[in-house]
Amino acid sequence: MRIYQTNEIKNISLVGSSGSGKTTLAESMLYEGGLVKRRGSVEAGNTVSDYFPVEHEYGYSVFPAVLHVEWLNKKLNFIDCPGSDDFVGGLITSLSVTDTALMLINSQHGVEVGTQNQHRQIDKMGKPCIFVINQLDHEKADYENSIESLKENYGGKIIPIQFPLSVGPSFNALVDVLLMKMYQWKPEGGVPEILPIPEEYMQKAKDMHNVLIEAAAEHDEGLMDKYFSEGSLNEDEMRLGIRKGLITQDILPVFCVCAGRDMGVRRLMEFLGNVVPFVSDMPYPQTTEGIKVAPDKNAPTNIYVFKTSVEPHIGEISYFKVMSGTVKESDDLFNTTRNSKERINQLFSVAGQTKEKVEELVAGDIGATVKLKNTRTANTLNNGTSEQQFNFIQYPDWKYRRAIKAVNASDDAKLGEILNRMHEEDPTWTIEYSKELKQTLVLGQGEFHLKTLKWRIENNDKIPVSFSDPKIPYRETIRKAARADYRHKKQSGGAGQFGEVHLIIEPLIEGEAAKDVYKFNGQEFKISVRDKQITPLEWGGKLEFINSIVGGSIDARFLPAIQKGIMDCMEQGPLTGSYARDVRVIVYDGKMHPVDSNEISFRLAGRHAFSEAFKNAGPKILEPVYDVEITVPSARMGDVIGDLQGRRAVIMGMESEKNMEKINAKVPLKEMNNYSIALSSNTGGRASFNMKFSNYELVPAEVQETLLKDYAETHKDED
């Protein structure tokens, strides 16, 4: 394979809803480019893209597959993306390192919810997009409906480049209005016969050709002048105008293919090779310092690792994009993210599970290497003359979570290693161990996302695991002041234990100082602040500890022990064992013994006094509340709002956005455990959402009563 230069490289993501035919199209392009001698199929499980066992098991793409084709003296790098919304991480990864999106449309359905969700991401990331109406040979294919649904969603930006002469099993020809030719195929597809446009289709072709010329001319002043003066543009001028319209996202071209029968694929590849933007045409990526880096092969070498995985028969493999400079076999590079050295022992140009060795790759190209020692996803490697780092892939927050544990406790350590490795392969599988909940949590994008993780652990790594509902990280606090005292006394021969603590607690409210006098049951307690310590708590909120001891009733050396006892109780709150927060504690009196008093005595006395006071201070449970943003079709908004209200949600606002409604709400985390499943059911899979932690709020009285009862029952069973 020859070395391609930056101005000969184009990077393209294959995207589309599940079932739109991305993997089949990729197989046909590899066949046309000579990478494979026989086209595989998804049904047979022998495609180049889907080669992981879990993909064969479920029949859908799980990981983005890197591919390449040499075509028209150019190198076209493709990344075949998963179609399911649960695997949006693969889409985001791919779009981050490619320059154009090729969006497949299933001709039976037109624009689907997956199309809308993915195009929102493409639009957000500022990438050119080309639509491809696929499966035109299906008996339920409907080209006109597909075009109408595209125009309904994306308006006048939709510019058809081709139209079929017929659809369904008889499909075998289309008209290309850019070249003004008819393409016709034999039943086996492949190389078409290029013919004049039949007379009965000529007027339609001319009308579409004129629309295309106008769209191309709009994006270049020189082309516009020529169009006004001559009324037409030649083929090269149209390509230039279309490319500029693609870059600004003002033109969304539409092509036609039947990928399964290899019809229309070669012509689509010609357009990709001739028209879509080169790497250097697109905005330059920025480093973490905000410096734009041009894809210049003569600049210092920087490569960005966008994906790592463990693959059959190879082991660990790192996929990267050359951001600048040139990388060669045997190069010694420096990992600026981890401050470690790496050697590039082998370089590959990739076509799914097929890896072709190359000597070097230049700026803008995508490739892979194996067995790097200390390099992970999102790391930057350079040749030592630069300290630049890239970190431009921004993954969405989790939407679905489960607690996971090994069925056999002896597998716990191995399970932890596997989960960390799988996070490297798909960063949207997030792993957390919660000391508070005493659970290992796996966070992902949906039920199928985590189901896939579980399948891989059990089938690839042979470790049985179980999922369960995660516990909720509640918090405990108080609403009023209370007083308590506690004497710890223990005598068992020799030195005993003695410590007595008198304290007052009250809610800690920002900006409000402790009072000089507190009154309980008609008795006044005067406070003199001798010392104050404010401790920010790692779980949120604060503890304010005030020493108001007068007359030496408790020696100052025992105060840290009292504070430790209070912290013990705050780490396992008196109500439900949850963390307590935002409490002011005033130690104002106590007693000690000249012989028996020690730190453990005062620690225990402080803990029990605090617990008793806490229970009398109007204790309340707080729950985590999340900001939730749901994007839903207008027709389904009522169902979604009704479901949210049943989840104790507070609707904060609604707005319209591109034929969709956006609902903003605050929802307790407890009510979000299975929300992704419910939302899909309520909207036929046509809605999406994201969520982010907002704050802690008081739970309703009936919820608190249930939590207290459940906690008491649990601890009764333990006893």
Determine contact, residues 16/22, Cβ cutoff 8 Å.
yes
Q: What is the pLDDT of residues 555-581, one digit of tens each?
A: 999 999 999 999 999 999 989 999 999
List C-alpha distances in Å: 113 to 109, 110, 130, 444, 446. Answer: 10, 10, 17, 20, 16
Does 430 have pLDDT greater than 90? yes
Q: What is the pLDDT of residues 18-28, one digit of tens each?
A: 889 999 999 99
Does 716 have pLDDT greater than 70? no
Does 67 have pLDDT greater than 90? yes
Does 487 have pLDDT greater than 60? yes
Superfamily of domain 6-165+250-281: P-loop containing nucleotide triphosphate hydrolases (3.40.50.300)
The mean per-residue pLDDT over the stretch 503-516 comes to 95
Does 397 have pLDDT greater than 60? yes
Task: Report the chain's C-alpha Rg in angstroms.
Answer: 32
Maximum pairwise Cα distance, the chain: 113
Q: Which pLDDT belongs to residue 134?
A: 97
| Domains 400-471 and 621-703 in one fold | yes
**pLDDT exceeding 90 applies to what percent of the chain?**
78
Q: What is the pLDDT of residues 613-668, one digit of tens each?
A: 999 999 999 999 999 999 888 888 999 999 999 999 999 999 987 667 899 999 99
The mean per-residue pLDDT over the stretch 434-438 comes to 90
Model confidence at 719, pLDDT cuts 50, 70, 90, reads very low
Most confident of 37-51, 204-218, 386-400: 204-218
Q: Is 302-382 a CATH 2.40.30.10 domain?
A: yes
The residue behind tokens 């455990």 is 673
Q: Which pLDDT belongs to residue 713?
A: 83
Neighbours of 566 (CB within 10 A): 28
Determine contact, residues 43/23, Cβ cutoff 8 Å.
no
What's the pTM value of the predicted model, to 2 decimals?
A: 0.86
What values do phi and psi take at 401, rounded to 5? -140, 155
Q: What is the pLDDT of residues 363-387, one digit of tens each?
A: 999 999 998 999 999 999 998 777 8
**pLDDT exceeding 70 applies to what percent of the chain?**
99
Give the class (CATH, top level) of 476-602.
Answer: alpha beta
Q: What is the mean pLDDT of the chain?
A: 92
Does 717 have pLDDT greater than 60? no
Residues in the chain: 719
Q: Which pLDDT belongs to residue 386?
A: 78
Q: What is the pLDDT of residues 96-115, one digit of tens each?
A: 999 999 999 999 999 988 89
Q: Which pLDDT belongs to residue 304?
A: 97
CATH number for the segment(s) 400-471 = 3.30.70.870
The mean per-residue pLDDT over the stretch 293-298 comes to 95
Q: What is the pLDDT of residues 162-215, one digit of tens each?
A: 999 999 999 999 999 999 999 999 998 999 999 999 999 999 999 999 999 999
Q: Is 621-703 a CATH 3.30.70.240 domain?
A: yes
- Domain boundaries, given as residue ranges, for the chain: 6-165+250-281, 302-382, 400-471, 476-602, 621-703
The mean per-residue pLDDT over the stretch 497-520 comes to 95
The mean per-residue pLDDT over the stretch 605-609 comes to 97
| Cα–Cα distance, 407 to 473 (Å, whole number) | 24
Residue 409, classified by CB atoms within 10 Å of its CB into exposed (0-12), middle (13-18) or buried (19+), is exposed
Model confidence at 493, pLDDT cuts 50, 70, 90, reads low
